[in-house]
Structure 1
Amino acid sequence: MKKLFDYTGRNVIAYYSGFLTKSINGMEVNDEDKNAFMLCINELERDKGLDLILHTPGGDSQATLSLVDYLRSMFGADMRAIVPQIAMSAGTMIACSCRSIVMGKHSSLGPVDPQFGHIAAANLLSEVRRARDEILADHRNALFWNPILSRITPSFIERCELAVADSNEFLEATLRENMLSDLKGAEQDSTVEKIKEVFANNIGKAHNTHIPAKQCAALGLKIEELEADQTFQDLVLTIHHCYMHTLANTAAFKITENHLGRALVKQQASQVVEVPMSQLVPFEMPSGSPPPSQGSEMLSPPPLPTKEPRAERPRAARVGSG
């Protein structure tokens, strides 16, 4: 990371989640992450901008909005997102708030539509609208839709509508303020609408849809090709593989770190398994061994069974030539 800073002259912060190899609460974007970014931003020269390396499945939308607001207050519009592999959902929202996004041919962004557990808010609202249209067209369709609609409360539908509205408004506002600020009038409007149609998931795709760099650029996002600068690519991918190796082979599940080596690492707590005393067998010390300290008891598993020696059998005669 220090070499990347020396090469670009820009501050570097890496934000990595181990979601590809672990499933632990806290790996997603949440309000606690702001403390990690406060730690990493302290003492940085903010006039040098920020290169933010992202690898995350997403997370809480309101925590993301608050985090983006904080980053913008520190570095203004001079932020660049680097996505070596995946920045989905809330990670895409962070990336779209930057001036540009560096992506490789293997990199992906994803839809930013809100989720309630495993329920996609946009998909649920789309299903409710479909049910309404089909029932109005033919009342006999109510026999099919009533059991489904009866499981949805009116308050939940309203929550979905508000969450989708917040997400869409943020995406549009942040694009207009930074990445697409050099576009004016109708050109900016049409570009924002094309991006929103795909990333706000108005086209009804799955929430985990991977949107590659080529499609992101075609929609109008400012995409810088990672492969355009071989030295830069080598530095970024070396950092990426170091983090992936660490997250896969240690107890760490989330790392936020800057190029000065200041970091906050979240680690999975070790679990202690209690074994009932009835399963432990007392162990007798061999003669001549020093006695154990007072109040202690030597325990060991039961001795392995011994085998009786087998009687030697006569070898069978070989049949055939040789």
Structure 2
Amino acid sequence: MYSEFLPSQTPLFYANNCDRYQRQEWIKKIEELTGRKVLIYIANHNHPLSSITRDDLLPFYDILYDIRPDCQDDVDLIVHSPGGDPNAAELIVNSILSKAKSFRVIVPLMAKSAATMMCLAADEIVMSDSSELGPIDPQIPIRQPSGIVEYRPAIAFLKGIEKIKEEAEQKGLNPVYIPILQGIDPAFLTSCEQAINFTRDLGEKWLLRSMCKDNPKKAAEIVSQLLDIDKYPNHGQVINYEEARQIGLKVEYIKFDSDLWQLIWRLTVIYQNELRTKQLVKIFESRNYSAVI
């Protein structure tokens, strides 16, 4: 008599996974409101392994089973990420584009760096008052004399070298710069240039397939702004929905107290609590599939 109200899973299996099933009910509610399939990629920003990497591909491909290529579904990717490897971001985006009829990125909190790059591939970015994008200038690893690896902006690094060169031509080489220059491999300078060019080319390519169709000038202007370290000297700088629009991105603003955003926000809060309390790195999810790192 009560069987119609019982989960299809066995009691123990359901008990072990009930948090996931509850989150997936929220995903279904969002899909009912938008008429679009929802994919989730949420990272724990406070975890040292939260960056986008190629290790994300296997769990991400799992949740793609909900997107049937023969149906060409409209797809929303809800993403919260500090960024990471742009090559991995490209593979994730390509996997969605190969199946989706249309593609939106929803940013409930932050999509920074390579995650901002992923937004450039979308037909539209959905944002509210809590949302932020960031600059896309590539960060490069530099090993300090102490042995610690720190990341520095490739553009700023090349500008610094150019400044030293100009000073040396005018006044002679300042001895202070000698230890710095001795640790620089010419191949490293080339890798900085290649990282910048790759980011620029990929950003423009994605914009040309999405928000800037048949408008290469606009695509180049948007990418140049997002790469501009004079405009955005801090790699973590906040680009809200208003500034994203001013840059030229196609942004749909949804009021924070609207029904749709409240569903998205409450689901985001659930994910954040799950990541924090269970010390998880990332959660990949759709209405039927789930993977956790």
**Shorter-chain TM-score: what band?**
0.7 to 0.9
What secondary structure is seen at the aligned counterpart in 2 of 1:95? helix
Q: Which residue of 2 aligns with 1:33?
A: 56
For 1:196 and 1:121, locate their aligned partners in 2 and report how far apart those are by CA, in whole Å: 15
The residue number in structure 1 matching 2:291 is 264
Question: CA 1:229–1:74 in 2, change beyond 3 Å: closer, same or farther?
Answer: farther
Contact 1:111 1:207 in 2 (8 A): yes
Partner of 2:42, secondary structure, is strand
User: What whole-Å deviation, never above 9, does each CA across 1:203-254 have from its counterpart, x for those lacking one?
Assistant: 3612222211111100100011021881111111111111111111113220
Residues 228 and 106 (structure 1), Cα distance of their counterparts in 2 relative to 1, 3 Å cut: closer
What residue is the counterpart of 2:202 in the other structure? 170
Give the superposed CA RMSD: 1.8
2:148 corresponds to 1:121: no
Equivalent in 271, 278, 284 of residue 243 of structure 1:
271
- Between the aligned partners of 1:253 and 1:127, the Cα distance in structure 2 is 35
Partners of 2:100 and 2:159 in 1: CA distance: 38
Separation of aligned partners in 1, 2:162 and 2:244: 29
User: Secondary structure in 2 aligned to 1:227?
Assistant: coil
Q: For the residues of structure 2 that align with 1:72 and 1:52, how far apart are their CA atoms?
A: 11
User: Which residue number in structure 1 is paired with residue 178 of structure 2?
Assistant: 146
What corresponds to 1:75 in structure 2? 100
Secondary structure of the corresponding residue to residue 32 of structure 1: helix
- The residue number in structure 2 matching 1:231 is 259
**Higher CA-based Rg:** 1
Question: 1:147 Cα deviation (Å)?
Answer: 2.8
Identity of counterpart residues, as a percentage?
A: 27
Unpaired stretches in structure 1, ≥5 consecutive residues? 267-322
Q: Give the paired residue count.
A: 255
Contact 1:196 1:202 in 2 (8 A): no
Counterpart among 49, 52, 75 of residue 74 in structure 2: 49
Q: Which moved more, 1:167-176 or 1:129-138?
A: 129-138
TM-score normalised by length of structure 2:
0.82
* 2:123 counterpart of 1:99: yes
Q: Which has the higher helix share?
A: 2
Alignment pair present for 1:59 and 2:117: no
Unaligned residue ranges in structure 2 (runs of 5+): 1-26, 142-150
Match of 1:219 in 2: 247
* CA distance in structure 2 between the partners assigned to 1:65 and 1:116 by the alignment: 18
Shift of 1:143: 2.7
CA distance in 2, matches of 1:82, 1:67: 15
Aligned to 2:188: 156
Please list the CA deviations of residues 82-109 of structure 1 after superposition, one character each: whole Å capped at 9, or x if unmatched. Answer: 0011011111011111001011122111
Shift of the 222–120 alpha-carbon distance from structure 1 to 2, 3 Å rule, reads same
User: Alpha-carbon deviation of 1:196?
Assistant: 1.8
Look up the match of 1:180.
212
1:253 aligns with 2:281: yes
Question: How has the CA–CA distance of structure 1 residues 72 and 229 changed in structure 2, closer, same or farther, with 3 Å as cutoff?
Answer: farther
Q: The residue matched to 2:45 in structure 1 has which SS?
A: coil
Residue 163 (structure 1) shift: 1.0
Which residue does the alignment assign to 2:166? 133
Question: How far, CA to CA, are the matches of 2:268 and 2:61 in structure 1?
Answer: 22
Contact 2:64/2:96 (CA < 8 Å) preserved in 1?
no
Conserved 8 A contact 2:72-2:99: no
Question: Aligned pair in 2 of structure 1 residues 15, 43: CA closer, same or farther (>3 Å)?
Answer: closer
Cα distance in structure 2, aligned partners of 1:43 and 1:256: 12
